[in-house]
Structure 1
Amino acid sequence: MNAYPDFTDEQLAVLRTYGTERATTVGEVVYSPADARNPLVVVLAGEIEVRDESQGHDVEFARFGAGTFVGELNLLTGQRPYVTARVTVAGRVVPIEAEQLRTLLERETELADLLVNAMIARRKLRLADSADHAVIEIVGTARSEATLALRTFLGRNSVPYRYVEAEAPGDDLPVAVTPDVVLPRATPGRLAEALGLTLAAGDDRPYDVAVVGAGPAGLAAAVYGASEGLRVVVFDATAPGGQAGTSSRIENYLGFPGGISGAELTTRATFQAQRFGARLVSPCRVAAVEPSDAGFVVTLTDGARTSARTVVVAAGAEYRRLPLAGWDQLEGAGIYFAATELEAELCAGADAIVLGGGNSAGQAAIYLARRCRRVTIVIRRESLSESMSQYLIDRIEGHERIDVAANTEISALRGEDHLDGVELRDTRTDVRRESEARALFCFIGARPATTWLPAEVQRDEDGFVLTDVALDRKRLPYETSLDGVFAAGDVRLGSMKRVAAAVGEGSSVIRSVHEYLEPR
């Protein structure tokens, strides 16, 4: 993908129709981090320089001359600008504001491909350069769940940042530094608000679809809904990707013979949904869904509210945990629920344990073995063959740094501020032994995240949502017992619990949404 394409005369003529041409003067600030939003700026003549001018920084990122455009992926994500665009050579430009840009992307396919691909390519360049020249900075400690939460949030939202290890623990850590604010004791929610990634205030127009959950099912619903003209908002408690986004590798997803990481797959889906106009909001938890004259009112735990004509429940599941002393305080400080590059970096050179015998556990073990001294897969069953695909078993059996501890459970945790080891118990003999593992990756399944749903939505005893139930009228496919509320993906009773299946359900549910919204 070309990050800095040149427009043809014909393309420039089309672009002019979506904005108002104006002159620029040397030194003029086109936009800066002080602005809540910025336009896409087509340069007809002159030059614009993009720099990081935040406190203590003075870094040039790019210069844009005639026939190019100024703008980045934040034009799709809604993130406020984090750089300053300043005129260095007077000329003429065509600013294209957000609404006009959305119309352009819908109508001009060739230009839309060129613009979106360039925006994504520019963001990837910024991500690759983030260690040296990132505008956003996180200061924290590796042994901190709060620091890991911030880094996970930024990484899953493809926001470039630089991580700085604090010299010593402190009450203000972690600290998030953005171009216009410093956040002590930062949380993903406060940082999202500072970056402009939260629900837009004053947006009272009802959405056609509110999707709860941004895993594969939710993202698929967003892509298909938005591409078919529906106004879509997606809420996620953590960040786009869901549990699939934490998978180190998916090798049986159709169309990727070489495999693809869960993060890469869901990041592509996120960009795709945003291209079609879906609004993604995270981190935020839905506290309630209540019927209203417009359809439903969706209330978040922070009190923010929005209206939607329909709701798609794609909240997936919450990780299961072991009932062991010290577990809660060690989450994010040695106990992890994902095996991405970030977590692998935190335990490089140490011993690690992978708890669980499914495909996610197998992929995690293989991935971690590249960085860890030794990886032990702990399972309660007799062998991996009961729950893992054979191609993964073959790789694990042939790997010199991976062991399998069958008929074994974790009986105790060691460590106070960070995991220092675990006690393993043989379930057949009750013999216990110590492991010096400094990292524990937990893949023992999950339970549906449905406690927030209204009572009218029927669930089974485990919390999985019932769809297609027989009531006063025939239910549409994927519709729950509450009119206008649908469910897709792992949260639905009877779902296959596979990424491909979740994508299929998320795509298919939109047909039912359309049918529900049609005048009767």
Structure 2
Amino acid sequence: MANPNASAPEFLPETGPDEQVPVLAASIEQRRHQIFPVLTEREVARLLRFGTVRTYGNGVRILEAGYTRFGMVLVLKGRMAAYRYDGLGNSAFVIEHGPGEFTAEVSQLAGRPSLVNVTAVGSVEALVIPADQLRALVIAEAELGERIVRALILRRVNLLELGSGGPVLVAPPGQPALFHMQSFLTANGHPHTVLDPRNDETAQALCEHYQPTADDWPLVVCPDGSVLKNPSNVEMGRCLGMSRELPAEKVWDVIVVGAGPAGLATAVYAGSEGLSVLALEARAFGGQAAASARIENYLGFPTGISGRALAGRAHVQAMKFGVELAIPLAATHLACHAVPLALDLVDGQRVRGRSVVLSCGARYRRPSLANIKQFEGRGIYYWASRIEANLCVDATVILVGGGNSAGQAAVFLSTHARKVHMLVRGDGLKSTMSAYLIERIRATANIELHTHTEIVALEGDDEGLKGVRWRNNNSLSEKDVNVSRVFLFIGADPNTDWLDGCGVEVDKQGFIRTGDAVQAAPCRLDATGAPVRSSLETSVPGVFAIGDVRAGSTKRVAAGVGEGAQVVSQIHAYLASLPVAG
């Protein structure tokens, strides 16, 4: 069953110069030569040094969904067949590969488990390339590597559009936890299928066996066949191989906390320069920028790019350069005085690094409304992706906020909703939003701007939000509006609570001070005994802060990416100052 909420159009990177995915279903066949390229004998010969030649008898399972972590399997002789598998025992033929063809998709760059079963058809001789060697291949063989990476990306797009591969979510429509799980998977560009137990026999049988209570939805069938009840994001990440047990003995050159644009830039630049990099992200790569429906002032994209597509490209680059991306895995404590530095993680692991980059960003604020948590995911949203937009078709919605993200979301939602009421406390948008977005909002007939206005009450029941009351703070008049979808983009607080007691200095708002702004802590000393602190270094030597979480930073995607690149040179200088390990 295809997933109607799949959002490949917002997620994945470009597939060639000036050419962007999404690839719509109708065009998949037209691009078959890119999705399933056939390598020549000479090209195959160039790849032999990256893998091991193995033979398989007829019917032997070469790849097993949810388990096998090969980077790529290239057919030398014979044929092998790929099948989609959903963990429930259902299998569907995808394609048969012959000599010069290979099986893999983009997550194999990171050594994640296969999403398909692959079986030998007759006797097969194949080149098995592990994930680390696949990354080495795409770097060393630039032209050939580009074709291979394009194929890997397009295969993931195909899976997303078909809604096949990955986990199966089982729950009746409208369950808040189901919405949150779909949102999590979509934000991470992971294919999945949703089954309604009211009309699907397989889902009904699963429910009869597990007898889920109201708190157990959704049931999640992992690719390996295991079944979870309403799993946390961390449990889901383990189910899919997105995060795994990290080597406790390893000391990373750089640990990046937060994989928004700034953190991803650090990961890409540091990884490309040969540093060992671990990137931790609590929810999904891209951070708040991924919620931007279209960024039109980012250099090099004159027609604009969605935040999710930009983040998707950076994510693939990071995997290409060998960055270990652990998603979703939040840091809960930074041991600033440990040597080397140490981070405790939400799942109980501890990781160590010679340097740490804090790019943990900021989170949207909740208004002071008593019952707001009751409706989160059931009418209250802090994100405007395709999943949320699909809930708003021909409906009236409210969007609160006056920044660029709010403007982009309003324009995006206006293409789905019948009416978008945009509420701001100030007297307009000029001081908080880019001029091009203001003009677009003015030109959009179904967006109505309400100035000096805020929501003062929410109404609803167990099924979700039913209405709101807003107030004009000039006239003090109030109005009740029947609406079931409200989007909040009302400023952000820094994600720094977890640093309490560590020694990283923050300002009164909780943003991290760096460089000359640091007040209390002494600088480290250079080789001559002179005090030194890099411009992005915090009060703790070897701990750097970039992007939205840094005090005084420019809250723009381009600025975050720039700091992410800049900090790598400062990390090199810091690492060079450390004593040589004996």
2: CA distance, partners of 1:187 / 1:380:
36
Match of 1:174 in 2: 218
2: CA distance, partners of 1:341 / 1:482:
41
2: CA distance, partners of 1:316 / 1:231:
22
- Alignment partner of 1:107 is 2:165: no
2: CA distance, partners of 1:144 / 1:355:
24
Match of 1:335 in 2: 380
1:26 Cα deviation from its structure 2 partner: 0.9
Q: Deviations over 1:312-354 (max 9, x none)?
A: 0000001100110210111111111111111111222211001
Contact preservation (8 Å) 1:142, 1:346 = no
Task: Describe the SS at the equivalent of 2:316.
Answer: helix
Contact preservation (8 Å) 1:142, 1:333 = no
Match of 1:38 in 2: 70
Contact preservation (8 Å) 1:22, 1:94 = yes
Task: Describe the SS at the equivalent of 1:385.
Answer: coil
Distance 1:176 1:410, change over 3 A: same
Q: For 2:544, which of 452, 469, 486 is the aligned residue?
A: 486
Distance 1:376 1:22, change over 3 A: same
Q: Higher mean Cα deviation, 340-349 or 29-38? A: 29-38
Contact preservation (8 Å) 1:206, 1:294 = no
1: CA distance, partners of 2:561 / 2:122:
48
Distance 1:152 1:445, change over 3 A: same
Contact preservation (8 Å) 1:143, 1:334 = no
Contact preservation (8 Å) 2:168, 2:193 = yes
Contact preservation (8 Å) 1:310, 1:484 = yes
1:271 Cα deviation from its structure 2 partner: 0.9
Match of 2:210 in 1: none
Q: For 2:263, which of 198, 209, 218 is the aligned residue?
A: 218
Match of 1:157 in 2: 188
Contact preservation (8 Å) 1:36, 1:196 = no
Contact preservation (8 Å) 1:421, 1:435 = yes
Q: Higher mean Cα deviation, 269-278 or 77-86? A: 77-86
- Alignment partner of 1:129 is 2:129: no
1:203 Cα deviation from its structure 2 partner: 5.4
Q: Deviations over 1:420-446 (max 9, x none)?
A: 110011101211111112111101110
Q: For 2:276, which of 217, 231, 237 is the aligned residue?
A: 231
- Alignment partner of 1:20 is 2:42: no
Contact preservation (8 Å) 1:146, 1:187 = no
1: CA distance, partners of 2:132 / 2:89:
34
1:273 Cα deviation from its structure 2 partner: 0.8
Q: For 2:502, which of 455, 458, 463 is the aligned residue?
A: 455
Q: For 1:5, which of 37, 40, 45 is the aligned residue?
A: 37
Matches within 5 A, 1:293-442: 295-417=340-462, 418-442=464-488
Q: Deviations over 1:145-186 (max 9, x none)?
A: 322221122112211112234549934211212232121222
1:105 Cα deviation from its structure 2 partner: 3.3
Task: Describe the SS at the equivalent of 1:347.
Answer: coil
Contact preservation (8 Å) 1:317, 1:448 = yes
RMSD across aligned C-alpha pairs, in angstroms? 1.8
Distance 1:249 1:212, change over 3 A: same
The one-letter code matched in structure 2 to 1:432 is E
1:291 Cα deviation from its structure 2 partner: 4.1
Match of 1:87 in 2: 120
The one-letter code matched in structure 1 to 2:282 is A
Task: Describe the SS at the equivalent of 1:508.
Answer: helix
Task: Describe the SS at the equivalent of 2:242.
Answer: coil
Match of 2:514 in 1: 467
1: CA distance, partners of 2:316 / 2:155:
13
1:416 Cα deviation from its structure 2 partner: 2.4
The one-letter code matched in structure 1 to 2:237 is A
2: CA distance, partners of 1:20 / 1:76:
17
Uncovered stretches (5+) of structure 1, i.e. residues with no partner: none
Match of 1:496 in 2: 554
Contact preservation (8 Å) 2:395, 2:419 = yes
Distance 1:244 1:3, change over 3 A: same
1:270 Cα deviation from its structure 2 partner: 0.7
1: CA distance, partners of 2:293 / 2:141:
36
1:56 Cα deviation from its structure 2 partner: 4.2
Uncovered stretches (5+) of structure 2, i.e. residues with no partner: 1-14, 16-33, 200-212, 524-530
Matches within 5 A, 1:177-256: 177-179=221-223, 180-202=225-247, 204-256=249-301
1:292 Cα deviation from its structure 2 partner: 6.5
Task: Describe the SS at the equivalent of 1:17.
Answer: helix
How many pairs does the alignment contain?
518
Aligned identity (percent) is: 39
- Alignment partner of 1:514 is 2:572: yes
1:106 Cα deviation from its structure 2 partner: 3.7
Q: Deviations over 1:359-398 (max 9, x none)?
A: 1111111111111121000011111223222222222222
Task: Describe the SS at the equivalent of 1:429.
Answer: coil
1: CA distance, partners of 2:265 / 2:190:
22
Q: Higher mean Cα deviation, 94-103 or 379-388? A: 94-103
Task: Describe the SS at the equivalent of 2:465.
Answer: coil
Distance 1:89 1:519, change over 3 A: farther
2: CA distance, partners of 1:39 / 1:258:
35
1: CA distance, partners of 2:329 / 2:69:
21
Contact preservation (8 Å) 1:105, 1:276 = no
Task: Describe the SS at the equivalent of 1:303.
Answer: coil
Distance 1:428 1:216, change over 3 A: same
Contact preservation (8 Å) 1:149, 1:188 = no
The one-letter code matched in structure 1 to 2:177 is A
Q: TM-score of the superposition, structure 2-length normalised? A: 0.86
1: CA distance, partners of 2:143 / 2:559:
31
1: CA distance, partners of 2:498 / 2:230:
28
1:499 Cα deviation from its structure 2 partner: 0.6
2: CA distance, partners of 1:286 / 1:493:
20
Q: TM-score of the superposition, structure 1-length normalised? A: 0.95
Distance 1:467 1:111, change over 3 A: same
Contact preservation (8 Å) 1:26, 1:89 = yes
The one-letter code matched in structure 1 to 2:232 is T
Contact preservation (8 Å) 2:455, 2:471 = yes
1:483 Cα deviation from its structure 2 partner: 0.5
Q: Higher mean Cα deviation, 327-336 or 77-86? A: 77-86
Distance 1:435 1:34, change over 3 A: closer
Task: Describe the SS at the equivalent of 2:159.
Answer: helix
Contact preservation (8 Å) 1:286, 1:298 = yes
Match of 2:6 in 1: none
